[in-house]
Amino acid sequence: MSEVTTAEVPWSPKRAAPGAIARLLDSKPVLIFLCLLPAVGLLLTFLTYPLGLGIWLAFTDTHVGRGGIFVGLENFESLWYDNVFWGAVFYTVFYTTVATVLKFGLGLWLALLLNENVPLKSLIRAIILMPWIVPTVLSAITFWWIYDAQFSIISYVLVDVLGWRTTYIDFLGTPWHARWSLIAANVWRGIPFVAISLLAGLQTISPSLYEAALLDGASSWQRFRKITAPLLMPILAVVLTFSVLFTFTDFQLVYAITRGGPINSTHLMATLAFQRGIPGGQLGEGAAIAVSMIPFLIFATLFSYFALARRKWQQGDDNE
C-alpha cells in the first residue's frame, strides 16, 4: 500500500479589495486629468478669462469708471473710419515685416559664424545674449538717450568727430526717422534670440553630411542650400513664428521711446489699444483694437503649424 503525501500549502493573508479612491487613482485618464488640473486652472485664470473679458468689452461702450452696454459692432465700425487706427495697422505690419527680415538675415549670418571654430566661442555667445536678457525698458531708455535730439552719441560722432554732417539728426522728431529708429532698436534686441536658436539647430546637423558634400565637390552655397537650409527648416518655422508674435505684439520698446509719436506715426496696434483704453478711458474701443490683432496672430500660428507638418524638410525633401 503506497503512502500518500500531501504538500503543505503556505498560508497567506487575504488581500482586501482596493477601495473606490484607490481604483480611481489607478485609472490613467484620472491621473492625467489630476496632473493637468493645476496648469488648466492657471490658464483659465490668467489667460482665458482676460481674453474672454477683452472680447466682451470690444462689443460694449465701457469706459474707465463706468460700466457699458452691449453695442455690437459699433466699436469696429468706428475703427473702420479711423485714420489713426489704419496708420497703426500699417506701421504694425511694416514694423513686423522689416524687423523680422532683418533679424533673421543677421541672426542666421551670426549663427553661421558662431558655428565655426572661433576662439573664445563660449564667451562670444554669452556676450551676444546680452541684448536679449537686458530688461526691455532699460534698453528703451538707452535707445531714447542714443536718439536724443541734443545729446545723441550718433549725431555727436557724425557732426563733431567725423564732420560728415553739419546738423544733428532728429531721430524721434519726424515720422519716418522715428519709425526706422524703433525698427533698429527692435532688431538689436531680437538678433540674439534668432542667432542662438538657429545656432542650436546648426549644431544638430551631422558634420559627416558636409564632409560627403565636400568630397562630391559641392560649393559653400550648394552645401547651404542642400544641407543647412532643409535641415534648419523645422526650427526656422518655430523661431520665425515666435519672432513674428513678439514683434507684432511689441509694446514696451515703442511706448517707452516714442509713446506713439510724433503725430501718432509710430503707434503699433498694441500701443494704440493701450492709449485708447487706459489713458483715454475708452475701454471698449481699446479692447476692439486689441481684438483686431487676433486674426494676424492666428495666421502666424497656423503658418507655424503647417510648416512643422512638412516633416520631410528634415530630409531635404518635399511632402509627397
Rounded CA-CA distance 265/21 in Å is 63
Domain locations in the chain as residue ranges: 44-315
231, with CB counted inside 10 A (0-12, 13-18, 19+), is buried
In single-letter form, the type of residue at position 61 comes to: D
Rounded CA-CA distance 85/175 in Å is 16
Q: Which residues have a Cβ under 8 Å from the Cβ of 54 and sit 6 or more positions away? A: 287, 290, 291
Looking at domain 44-315, which of 1.25.40.10, 3.90.1150.10, 1.10.10.410, 1.10.3720.10 is its CATH number? 1.10.3720.10
177 pLDDT more than 90: yes
Rounded CA-CA distance 129/134 in Å is 9
Q: Could you report the per-residue pLDDT of 77-115, keeping only the tens digit for each?
A: 999 999 999 999 999 999 999 999 999 999 999 998 888
Q: Could you report the per-residue pLDDT of 45-62, keeping only the tens digit for each?
A: 888 888 898 999 999 999
Q: What pTM did the predictor assign? A: 0.83
73 pLDDT more than 50: yes
